[in-house]
Amino acid sequence: MSGTSAGWTPERRAAQAARMTTLNNVVMTKARRSAGWSEARRAAKSAELKARNLDPAFQAKRRVGVANGLNDVAAGHVHPLVRGLFLEMKRQRASCERIAAPVGICRSTLINWRRHHMPQLDALDAALNVLGFELAIVPIGRRGPNGFATKKSSTGE
């Protein structure tokens, strides 16, 4: 009967019920941490956040953090076509949900292309089509660092 509660004594059941009640209260308290705040505390927190958001040093630090988070795919070891897809998504401000739904893949699958998995060719092509791009075969050396084909210069180089 290992793994089941069939052999438990009434005392053990009561102790387990009390333990679970305590754990649930802790979890619920964390989930609704600000639910019991007084109006004065809410006003003080609001004033603190407004003052922080007006601070230029805080805004500069925030912008750096946001930029680093959005550019993580540009610096990683990812195929240039996938890098290009994510950079174009960023440029168009397209969410993963907006791209994944028409392609017929899960949002998490698209997110995993960023670091963990290489997409199948048809799925990558479909994702690029949603953004208004298509896959193309180009000569070696004509693809830029962002994964997209570059135009040949007028000097023939």
Q: Residue 155's pLDDT is what?
A: 55
Report the percent of the chain where pLDDT is more than 90.
31
Encoded tokens for 99: 């791209």
Query: Among 40-49, 82-91, 122-131, 147-156, which is the least confidently predicted range?
Result: 147-156
Q: Does the pLDDT value for residue 70 go beyond 70?
A: no
Q: Does the pLDDT value for residue 35 go beyond 80?
A: no
Q: Residue 152's pLDDT is what?
A: 65
Mean pLDDT of 1-19: 79
* Segment 119-138, tens digit of pLDDT: 999 999 999 999 999 888 88
Q: How far apart are CA 149 and CA 138, in angstroms?
A: 7
For residues 73-93, b (16+ Cβ closer than 10 Å) or e, as one string? beeeebeebbbbbbbbbeeee
pLDDT band at 31 (very low <50, low <70, confident <90, very high): low
Q: Residue 1's pLDDT is what?
A: 44
Domain parsing of the chain, residue ranges: 39-68, 77-130
**Count of all residues that appear for the chain in the document:** 157
- Cα 33 to Cα 20, 26, 40, distances in angstroms: 19, 10, 16
Q: Residue 38's pLDDT is what?
A: 85
Q: Residue 66's pLDDT is what?
A: 63
Q: Does the pLDDT value for residue 32 go beyond 50?
A: yes
This prediction's pTM: 0.50
Mean pLDDT of 51-76: 72
In Å, the largest CA–CA distance within the chain is 88
Q: Residue 106's pLDDT is what?
A: 93
Q: Residue 142's pLDDT is what?
A: 80
